[in-house]
Chains A and B, each alone.
Chain A
Amino acid sequence: MIEIRWHGRGGQGAVTSAELLALAAISEGKFAQAFPSFGPERRGAPVLVFNRVSPNSPIRARVSVAHPDIVIVLDPGLLYITDVTSGLKEDGILVLNTPKSLVEIRSELSGPWRLAVVNATSIAREMIGVPIVNTTMLGALARATRIVELDSLTEPILERFGARARGNVDACRKAYEETETGEPAGIVPKRPKIFEGEELPTWQELLPGCVLTKPGSARQYRTGDWRSERPVWDHQRCIKCGICYLFCPEGCVKQTKEGYFEADLYYCKGCGICARECWTEAIKMVEE
């Protein structure tokens, strides 16, 4: 049995990817399972989805995947906020959407597992018109792991996307062609620096009734992790009017000493409202 863990962001279609993969595997006569790990997350927040695929026996385990054979990452930014390689088997494979080459990625992320990379965002923009990479990454997955035939993915994608299906099928095929797979680089794991959350209290430490006595604990919640684009201010165009400051729904746009504005990236979710409201077009949203 092959176990897969998907890392995506809320709204990126990771759940759909896993479902389509399961449907493709089942259409090949295999046993497969897809299920999400639901939380309170909003659009942009890191989410997990799981697959199990077995060529010949029914799948009984109904628990999340802790030791995946395959990890697939839909968003390059997730490498820096969550340990995507956690529990990945030594003979497993990590499939990444990244604009970086295999060599570049290896310099910052390596381990005993194999690596596969594809610039899925660029392919999705070209073939579908939006940077939603879930179907694109299915092509990369099929190429890197051979877990299903590329053709098996076509029917589920057509069924799911109707009129918009053609671009998704094309993106999936293009990613299949462009995915680069490398052999294991080394056995010493090397990972990007990751923000560590606070340790959760145990039952002995909780106050009776789980009462929270300190206000403002939501302040620790790093909503900046949800961001896939960030606002960048062009000081040539900025007239310091403060419209971005007024419209930011998170209250995370701050004024600098010089009177310009900038976003607090700990909280900025990259919603783009500031860029939309800026009437001198001084704010551009750039990909993380």
Chain B
Amino acid sequence: MQIGLRAKFVLSLLATTLVWFAVLAVGAWSASRAGEGVLRESEDSLRAQGRAALAERGEQLAALLADTLTNPVYYTDLLSVREAARSTLNQPDVDYVLVYDGQGRVLHDGSRDIPRFGQVMDDPLAPAAIAAHAPLLQWSSERLDASAPIAIGDLRLGGVRVGLSLARTEGVIALESARTRERFRQAFAGPAHVLGLGFLLLALWLVLAGWMVARGLVRPIRELAGNARAIERGRFEAPLESGRKDELGELIRAFARMSDSVRRHHHDIRKLAYHDSLTGLPNRLMFRELLDEAIGEYRGSDTGLALLFIDLDDFKRINDTLGHDAGDEVLIEFAGRFKRALALLDAPAQPVLARLGGDEFVALVSGGNGRTHGERAAISVLEQLKQPFVVGNHSLLVGASIGITVFPDDAHTSKLLLKHGDLAMYQAKQRGKSRYHFFAGHLTQAAAERLDLEHDLREALESGRLDLAYQPIHDLASGQLVGTEALLRWRHPRRGNVPPSIFVPIAESSGLIDALGDWVIERACADCRRWQSALPGMSVAVNLSGRQLQRNDLAERISACLERQQLPAGLLHLELTESSLLHDEQLAFAALGQLRQTGVRVWLDDFGTGFSGLSHLRRARVDGVKIDRSFITDILSDPEDLALASAIIAMAHSLGMQVIAEGVESEAQFALLRDRGCDLAQGFWMSEAIGPDELVQRPRRVLSRSVAALP
């Protein structure tokens, strides 16, 4: 059992009182004992005095009687004897007077008829009295027997005995004791009253102290405890206040300050946990809670909720090209515009905004017709984006794709609602961006598949289920194996091999492309480094996506990778498509320049398929071009393709670039390209893509028998 402070205090007061009472009781007891002792001593003293006085008196009385009685006894004058005896007997404490002769026979006892006359006294005190020749005092429990002989000269006539009662003395003692006791009592009565009053005051004080402690100490402490419990449960109630000047007041104020501090920290932490630090908007966590609440609230009602799932179009590019700070500025600005857009809405309830992460935002518009309100909100947001974002010296137009789902029409749970919102947003993006799209059930399949693939790709990358295959590249003139092109292979557990044409766009759109690209380069470099012992000078080519090129730290990352893998920069070839240069040419060419400075070789992939190939070629300053396979396929049969290929070869050579042909599937193609001066070739005829370890076991050289046959 826990004993409360008040109980302890009251108990301690009680204990103090008891101790005090005990001390007083012991004091009173010892005083009373001392008093009893004094009384006893006083009684003893009184008794001794009384006895001494009685003895003296008895002695005198006996002597006087003996003297008085001498002559009457001598003459046996019984009348006179009686008179003397009577006068003595009349005294209040005289029990008896016995006059006796020399033989101890009673001569007179003061009575009229002397019934004992002539009888020898036989009481216990008699013999000594009879035998005595001098006055004698004998004490019994009840009286003093004073005797004196009666004699004339040496003539012994007899004696007289006087019995003096002790009762009178004892009575006097009792009376005196009673008086003394009364005096004691009176002497003690005053202090006893004072003590009684003291105890009464103490009892009152006890009650008062208990009340004061309860009021002044226990109650504030209990309030503090209650407040602390409320804070523990996360409820920051009105802080305690106290004007008290004492330690408790200080404690309460300190507690209030601490409570305030905890409240602020709690608020901050909560904000950190529930808010997006960049935009100040609620984060995914909070939004999920709010969404759950709203769903719970609106479940069963005829009004709906509309969820807007917003994704900024091409935001990745802003981050990659202008840096994250610029991206952050865009996000902050967008959040502001987003708020304004929704604030302008005439919605029954204030819409909830949140940033789910990256460039994904959501809004929850509640009340009324969900579909109508959602649409209005989407329009309003898109309206806000018509003004360009100014970031530094750049003025950017940022679009957004908005998916709208409606509760309870499209989904019944918050999770599903968010997913459908995401899908609808994806649909909007598919439809051409900067638009909104309502979630429609029939769209779900493709979009869901895409989402699944994205999810699976992420997982594959993280769990190492991706592989690189290498297609050998041979020198056309010597047939010597000089390099390889790294090709990404994804063996999906259910879908089997997924071609890069499917998953690369997904990686690009989901942002996975960065991690994927890094992984490929790292892996390719590592493999190439291993080959060097068996195949010195063996190069490896890696395809770069346009997104990767937009990263302003690309060159640094590649340098770091080369250093890590200890691979000479010249052995790493990067292949870029023409289209990847088209997003932001200036940026792309700058990136190319940086790459070339690191020493890696840069090739243009799929050369000939773009529209502005030549101008790019002039400005890009690449190491070589790869003739697109579409030219090679029909090179033997189509003179135009041959002419184009030959022209590309000639043009590249004239610019100091090398040329590689891909998709060489026959010996004839190989021979023709060799004859036309093409430098390198890859294709099924030489080898399909193989694993890294398999490569070193391959023949180092291919020989075309038909070469000689050609003119």
Partners in one complex: no
Q: Spell out B's residues near A (CB within 8 Å).
A: none
